[in-house]
Amino acid sequence: MSEPLIFERGRPGRSAGAQFPRHESAHELPAQFLRERPPLLPEASELDVVRHYTRLSQMNFSIDTQFYPLGSCTMKYNPRGCNSYAMLPGFAARHPLTPESSSQGFMTCLFELQEMLKSVTGMSAFSLTPMAGAQGELAGVAMIRAYHVDRGDEDRTEIIVPDAAHGTNPATATMCGCTVRELPTRADGDVDLGALRELVGPRTAGIMLTNPSTLGVFERSITAIQDIVHSAGGLLYYDGANLNAILGKVLPAEMGFDVMHINLHKTFATPHGGGGPGSGVIGVGEKLKPFLPVPLVGSTKDGYRWLNEADVPKSIGRLSAFMGNAGVLLRAYIYMRLLGQEGMERVADYAVLNANYVMVQLRQAGFDIAFPDRRASHEFIVTLKRQATSYGVSAMDFAKALLDRGFHSPTTYFPLLVPECLLIEPTETESKQTLDEFIGAMAEILAMAKSDPAKCKDAPTTTPVRRLDDVRAARRLDVRYQPPEVQISAEIVDIAEN
């Protein structure tokens, strides 16, 4: 299946006339401000547009159509009710600067969300404004720095990050003007405590961890870790990417974390949308409360009001024009109300059950598990190093072969520490039936890798395109359509010295 570009679907002079004002008023804007040439936007009929984007949607894999076991992404079902109610006209049409007197419905939902998030994490306060996990991390590291500077301890500029950490962690540390100190992981999946003792000192601002770690196993020495870091004067940041594994079982605050972000688009089922929007709400213990990014929702005897810079004078400031991804927050709120206390406490049970079941079955089918002596958390790692060596079939080839069998692949090549790895996270919303089908597909591919490796390397063959030349994509940069009359070279970008 293929689909031309929308620009190619349309024709000059065509338009979707029902969608814009029928008349054009005169205006007296000075000519110097006006465009001379119209922008390159499609000239298409409404049917052209509807057909085009409907067909494009049919070229996607999605949770609504396929099992999507991407590790560390928590691709659970996005409940439709969350979308419908978040888009009710009263919410969807509400301007962000609407006075508080006409915002109490919305603010009630947000305040209750803040409270519920405190419950499930043990944290003392939440700011709902960071618009993605990475922004939550930025806020967290910025708050840690602000805390130390506020105490007169300006030299604390080092952030410790495990070598298995997600790339946003070190990238965030750098963005906050800190230097990254890497902490090695041991063969059994826990971090190296001896190395940690060497790394901490008077320059330590804090450590960024996720638990369970990116290796899919619970960091058993977390109490020792928090002891070492706190004793050295540093703080602990919890990357909430893997919260789905411990929801209702462990409170991050009780593991000793001072600050954390939650990826609402992971644990709280808000949509991934092809790459966003996310939400990285940030929770803190008492130490960091004064530094939270604004605005926050505060309660008064008559209702709710916004807390701004004046109310939180030591705040690290605002991270967005308004108050973050409100629509995503509403979806998370609705999800939490649908699950309720009991539902929230069951999420981890079934997420972990599903992961351990798939792990055991894959091991029996002949796959190598990276940490065979550990329990899977909500995810686990398969390493295909042996198959790569024996048959020349890599993790990438397995991933592509899964696409042909109607499954989105697991996360590949992350974490970096395990060679030829697949990080598999089924999530709790998948049935045993689906898991068995996936296990069957994996076993089939393994057999094919042995008997006909070339076929694996040829996959995928049933998707709209075959494997793409990404070297060419980077060398001959073509990132926008040029209509045929315009001649611009599509060759490599020249550096212009600035």
Partner 1 sequence: MSEIPAELKYTKDHEWVRERDDGSVILGITDHAQVSLGDLVFVELPETDSVIDAGDACAIVESVKAASDIYLPLSGTIVEANEALADSPELVNTDPYGEGWLFRFKPDTPAELEELLNSEDYERFVAELHD
Partner 2 sequence: MPFIPHTDNDTQQMLHAIGVDDISRLFDEIPMELRCGHLDGVPEASSEYEVGRLMRRQAERDQVGLNFLGAGAYEHHIPAAVWELTTRGEFYSAYTPYQAEASQGTLQVIYEYQTMIASLTGQDVSNASMYDGASALAEAILMAVRVNRASKSKKVLIPRTVHPHYAATVRAITASQGIEVVDIPYVPDSGRTDLGALQTHAGTDVTAVVIPQPNIFGVLEEVDELADWAVEHDALGIALANPTSLGLLRPPGEWGREGVTIVCGEGQPLGVPLSSGGPYFGFLACKEALVRQLPGRVVGRTVDSEGKSGFTLTLQAREQHIRRSRATSNICTNQGLMVTAATIYMSLLGPEGLRRVAIESHAKTRALTAAAEDIQGVEAVFTAPNFHEVVLRLPVPASSVLERMRQEGILAGVDLSAWFPELLDCLLVCATETKTDEDIQTYVQSLREQVEAARTMG
In sign, the C-alpha dihedral spanning 390, 396, 399, 404 is negative
Footprint on residues 448-487 left by partner 1 (CB under 8 A): 470-471, 473-475
Q: Specify which residues 160 forms β-bridges with.
A: 181, 207
Question: Using the rule CB under 8 A, which residue among 81, 202, 366, 392 binds partner 2?
Answer: 81
Residue 485, contacted partner among partner 1, partner 2, none, CB below 5-8 A by kind: none
Stretch that binds partner 1, among 73-81, 104-112, 371-379, 488-496 (CB under 8 A): 488-496
Per-residue x/- track, 257-286, partner 2 (CB under 8 A): ------------x-xxxxxxxx--------
Contact in structure between 445 and 399 (CB atoms under 8 Å): no
Q: Which stretch binds partner 2 (CB under 8 A): 177-185, 195-203, 230-238, 384-392?
A: 177-185
The H or E element spanning position 454 is: helix 453-458
Q: Name which position in 36, 154, 302, 485 contacts partner 2 (CB under 8 A).
A: 36
The count of other CB atoms within 10 Å of the CB of residue 118 is 16
- Which of 29, 93, 310, 495 binds partner 1 (CB under 8 A)? It is 495
Does 491 bind partner 1 (CB under 8 A)? Our answer is: yes
Which two tokens mark 125?
């306060």
Q: Which residue lies nearer to partner 1 by CB, 168 or 263?
A: 168
DSSP helix/strand/coil, 326: helix
H or E stretch at 444: helix 432-451
Phi first, then psi, for residue 198 (nearest 5°) are: -70, -35
For partner 2, the binding residues in 226-245 under the rule CB under 8 A are none
Residue 383 partner contact from partner 2, partner 1, none using kind-dependent CB cut-offs of 5 to 8 Å: none
Per CB under 8 A, does 186 bind partner 2? no
Contact between 494 and partner 1 per CB under 8 A: yes
Put the strands of the sheet holding 411-412 in their side by side order: 368-369, 380-383, 421-424, 411-412
How many Å apart are CA 353 and CA 426, to the nearest integer?
10
Q: Which of 422, 425, 410 is nearest to 354 (CA)?
A: 425
492 lies in the site for partner 1, by CB under 8 A? yes
Q: Which residues of 145-176 are buried (b: 16+ CB within 10 A; e: fewer)?
A: bbbbeeeeeeebebbbbbbbbbebbbebbeeb
Does residue 497 touch partner 1 according to CB under 8 A? yes
Residues within window 283-302 making contact with partner 2, judged by CB under 8 A:
293
- Which one of residues 88, 194, 392, 452 is an interface residue with partner 2 (CB under 8 A)? 88
Which is nearer to partner 2, 86 or 389 (by Cβ)?
86
Residues 299, 300, 303: CA angle, nearest 5 degrees: 80
Cα–Cα distance measured from residue 496 to residue 498, given in angstroms and rounded to the nearest whole number: 6
Task: Give the one entry of partner 1, partner 2, none that residue 124 binds, where binding means its C-beta sits below a cut-off of 5 to 8 angstroms depending on kind.
Answer: none
Binding mask 397-436 for partner 2 (x = CB under 8 A): --xx--x----xx----x-------------xxxxx----
Binding site for partner 1 (CB under 8 A): 470-471, 473-475, 491-495, 497
